[in-house]
Structure 1
Amino acid sequence: MLSDMAPRTTASRAPRKTADGGSEARERLLRTASELFYAEGIHVVGVDRIVAAAGVTRATFYRHFPSKEDLVEAYLGVEDANLRGMFDAAQVATDDPVELAGLLIDGIAEDVARHHTRGCPFINAAAEYPDADSGVRRAVGKHRAWFRGSLERVVSALGSDDPVTRAGQLVLLRDAALVGGYLDGWDNVRVAFVGAARQAAGLDPAH
């Protein structure tokens, strides 16, 4: 029969979308890669591993991410957005500079405890990408510049005469907390971090 000889076709299907209009496959790839990159490292996790775990094809992967480095940058973008979201939520919660600083310090502590028990994703990524001109390192630098600048504004609102130095201390304390929490256990680090961070910000460390 002529119908038996005709090439078979399948109905074309548009990629499924997430609630915010993004591609479901892209979100699944990004979510899967983020979990693997943070748990195991970036270079050790290959594209084949990611597409298999996400349940998509290599063609789908490269449709959304032209290279693995693009995926790494997207992963860091999610980490950056999450921390920015925490800052935004704290600023919505209070207009009081002292309360805001306290909320941010507590928020950072909670973030380390719940989401970053294997160190800082930005420091980890930078260690795997030594080229300072790479897209990954630029993403790391952009995040850290935003974080430091945001802390400078918070500390400045407290009336500090040297917000740059105090913000730098807070950045270093978060770095140390992320590494120390991974190596020594967050329960052994949290009290020291919160007290030192409050003191660096110019708050009463006992509260």
Structure 2
Amino acid sequence: MVTLAASSDAPVVGHPTRDGGQSEVARRILEVAAPRFYREGIRAVSADAVMAEAGVTKVTFYRHFPTKDRLVEAYLETVAAAERAAVASWRARHAGDPAAVLTEYANQLGTQVCGDGFRGCPFLNAVAEYPDVTHPVRVVAERHREWLRRTAEDLLTELGLPDARVAAVQLVMLRDGAMAAGGGVEPGEIGRALRRAGEAVVRAALR
């Protein structure tokens, strides 16, 4: 399941309009490509297939996305923006209560993992398809994963953990494991397991 950022949070993809806004054609290309990249795999979906489904010419496509990889970058950046916006809303709703933010993340992750069409973490999927750590697509994926670790570290620091960075790495590892636990497991069970494992990490770090 791929969630694209709301219009107010999404980055401008493709060639912008004259006023710097989002081109509807570029947005349509992305909206066609994103679910296919996620569902079928990035390498399996050709630029020609995206053009055909979006109803655009090669000239139009390449004006907005000079290479297919640029479209893949836009896909990942837009999904990342959606996750950042969700976490920001939880932090605003639970201001001063980092434990509640972490709990909400665990609950939402459990629901997502067991949802229809779930095919794993889009960023881990991209890392698997782009082994070159210097490739721009890989850089986008790794940048978002660093954001996950940094956000977890910030929340754990608020909780008073003395070595929040190490615990943050452990929580992201738990998150990655939960992404692979979907089939045949109830959403609530994954959420509970993730919360309990996360609480164990926090308790161990506070000793």
Instruction: Give the shorter-chain TM-score range.
Output: 0.7 to 0.9
1:61 is aligned to 61
Offset of residue 199 of structure 1: 3.2
Distance 2:153 2:112 in 1: 20
How far does residue 108 in structure 1 lie from its aligned partner after superposition?
A: 3.3
SS of residue paired to 1:22: coil
Structure having greater relative contact order (Cα 8 Å, sep ≥ 6): 2
2:72 matches 1:72: yes
Q: What's the counterpart of residue 11 of structure 2? A: none
Counterpart Cα distance in 2 of 1:39 and 1:26: 20
Distance 1:186 1:148 in 2: 26
Match of 1:3 in 2: none
Query: Is the contact between residue 155 and residue 167 of structure 1 (CA under 8 Å) also seen in structure 2?
Result: yes
AA in 1 matched with 2:181: G
Question: How many angstroms apart in 2 are the aligned matches of 1:116 and 1:160?
Answer: 37
In the alignment, residue 59 of structure 1 is paired with which amino acid? V
Which 4+ residue blocks in structure 1 deviate beyond 2 angstroms? 96-116, 183-191, 197-202
Greater Rg over alpha carbons, structure? 1
Query: Number of residue pairs matched?
Result: 186
- Counterpart of 1:108, as a letter, is L
Residues 135-185 of structure 1: per-residue CA shift (max 9 Å, x gap): 01111111111110010000110011221121111101111111222x555
Q: 1:86 to 1:198 in 2, by over 3 A?
A: farther
* More moved, 112-121 vs 155-164: 112-121
Q: Distance in 2 between matches of 1:157 and 1:114?
A: 31
Aligned to 2:21: 21
For 1:96, the aligned partner's letter is G
SS of residue matched to 1:189 = helix
Residue 26 of structure 1, CA deviation: 0.6
TM-score by length of 1: 0.80
Q: CA RMSD in A?
A: 2.5
Give the Å deviation of 1:111. 4.0
User: In 2, distance between residues paired with 1:116 and 1:157?
Assistant: 35
Gap runs ≥5 in structure 2: 1-14
Contact 2:110 2:190 in 1 (8 A): no
AA aligned to 1:46 is S
Q: Percent identity?
A: 37
Q: For residues 56 and 185 of structure 1, do their structure 2 counterparts lie closer, same or farther at Cα, with a shift above 3 Å needed?
A: farther
Residue 176 of structure 2 corresponds to residue 175 of structure 1: yes
Matched AA of 1:28: R
Structure 1 residue 82 corresponds to structure 2 residue 82: yes
Residue in structure 1 matched with residue 12 of structure 2 by the alignment: none
Measured at CA, do residues 198 and 99 of structure 1 come closer, stay the same or move farther in structure 2, by a change above 3 Å?
Answer: same
Task: Point out the more displaced range, 189-198 or 128-137.
Answer: 189-198
- Residue 148 (structure 1) aligned with residue 149 (structure 2): yes
In the other structure, the counterpart of 1:122 is: 123
